[in-house]
Structure 1
Amino acid sequence: MITVLIETGVNKHKAYKIKGKLHLKGMFMNNYQNHENGRFWIWWNNKKVEVRKISSSMQNIHCGVYDLQSNFLYWLTAIYGLNYLEKKKKLWYELEQIHLSQHGPWFLIGDFNNVLKAMDMSSGNLVQEKEYKDIISMMNRTNLSEMDTGGGGV
């Protein structure tokens, strides 16, 4: 029903050419207005659901998902966390602001590029507390929890 591609790295000028070659049917949104290489592409089958963009930034697109009668189903936020600690702090702040402005089920999908504890490895090295304390604080304030995907990080 909904397909989310993250960290596409495709220049805006090439995106629609590539989109055409993928032959995906339905509606399409991106975040080229926030990043020249469009970190997110979201497709959905508009015969099954309606997806409405609420906000976007360099690190996320936040949407509402509705049935065809415009009844709210859930919130969907596609995430791609940048690799720099200060940029990640901006993402945590953005997620807290989204949390404050919504009610109902919230589904976050993507790559936070972060770990949650020192035991998690980053390139074979133990991570420092400063690398995960802010995401833990954000998750506590927003009541988010990690789903085990077998991948090792958030």
Structure 2
Amino acid sequence: MNLTFWNVRGLNKSSKQQLVKHHMLQYHASFLSLLETKIKGSLLPVVAKKIANSWSWISNAGVSGKARIFILWDTKILDAQVIASSDQHITCLVKSLDDLLECVISSVYGHNHVEGRKALWTDLMQINHNIGDVPWLLCGDFNAMINCDEKLGGSALTEADTVYSKLKMLKVALKGLNKKHFHNISEQVQRARLTLENVQEKL
């Protein structure tokens, strides 16, 4: 079972639709998450039929007018139920029909600007809170950079636009977490080593 997440940067042209179909067949994909499709909601059934005639599909065109995210899956292999969506993500509970896979999959296409992405981070934190211990696959295009060197063209990024700046804000919280739960980790490792040596001596 193969899952594909792809920023196609437009899916209105027949040639791009054929490329996606070729990819799906070549890699035996059973789940396709296509981002930045720019397809009008009214055209989605036609495009879905061209790519994967018998598959089910969902999009967020109802929220944004055009499908920013377009997900297709093979119903002979998977069942997918939407548990949350917005103009920046579609989150599904995905189960394989053979019961070997059950996970939450969030397909993300974030807004270009920091302010626009704040709602996305809020949604993702809420999803994390709600899903409990179910494995969560979080994929897509967050339109967020680790550092300014990753960006080519367009308007310049500020330090505040980068993921690095977000991680710096977590530093204090992570230090507190580390102190609370891992402050004596070397002692714990030493105790575990002694226990292991004792067990080995008895063998």
TM over 0.5: yes
Distance in 2 between residues matched to 1:72 and 1:64, nearest whole Å:
10
- Of 58, 66, 79, which aligns to 1:29? 58
| Larger RCO (CA under 8 A, 6+ residues apart) | 1
- Of 135, 157, 167, which aligns to 1:136? 167
- Of 36, 44, 47, which aligns to 1:18? 47
Is 2:52 aligned against 1:2?
no
Does the aligned pair in 2 maintain the 1:52–1:63 contact within 8 Å? Answer: yes
Is 2:142 aligned against 1:112?
yes
Larger Rg: 2
Aligned-residue identity in percent? 27
- Who is 2:26 aligned against? none
Is 2:120 aligned against 1:91?
yes
**Structure 1 or 2: more helix by fraction:** 2
- Who is 1:150 aligned against? none
Distance in 2 between residues matched to 1:10 and 1:107, nearest whole Å:
25
RMSD (CA atoms): 2.7
Residues 109-142 of structure 1, C-alpha deviations (whole Å, 9 max, x = no match): 2111111234x3322687432102575379999x
Does the aligned pair in 2 maintain the 1:92–1:138 contact within 8 Å? Answer: no
1:89 alignment partner, SS class? helix
The 4+ residue runs of structure 1 with deviation greater than 3 A are: 69-72, 124-127, 133-141
| Deviation (angstroms), 1:48 | 1.0
Across the two proteins, how many residue pairs are aligned to each other?
A: 140
Change in CA separation of 1:70 and 1:139 when aligned onto 2, cut-off 3 Å? farther
2:146 alignment partner, SS class? coil
Distance in 2 between residues matched to 1:98 and 1:137, nearest whole Å:
23
Is 2:151 aligned against 1:122?
yes
| Deviation (angstroms), 1:49 | 1.4
Gaps of 5+ in 2: 1-29, 174-203
* One-letter identity of the residue aligned with 2:71: I
2:34 alignment partner, SS class? strand
Distance in 1 between residues matched to 2:156 and 2:142, nearest whole Å:
17
Does the aligned pair in 1 maintain the 2:81–2:92 contact within 8 Å? Answer: yes
* One-letter identity of the residue aligned with 1:131: D
Is 2:99 aligned against 1:57?
no
Residues 35-60 of structure 1, C-alpha deviations (whole Å, 9 max, x = no match): 11011111111111111100110000
Change in CA separation of 1:20 and 1:72 when aligned onto 2, cut-off 3 Å? closer
Is 2:139 aligned against 1:77?
no
TM-score, length-normalised on structure 2? 0.60
1:50 alignment partner, SS class? strand
Gaps of 5+ in 1: 142-154
Distance in 2 between residues matched to 1:33 and 1:70, nearest whole Å:
31
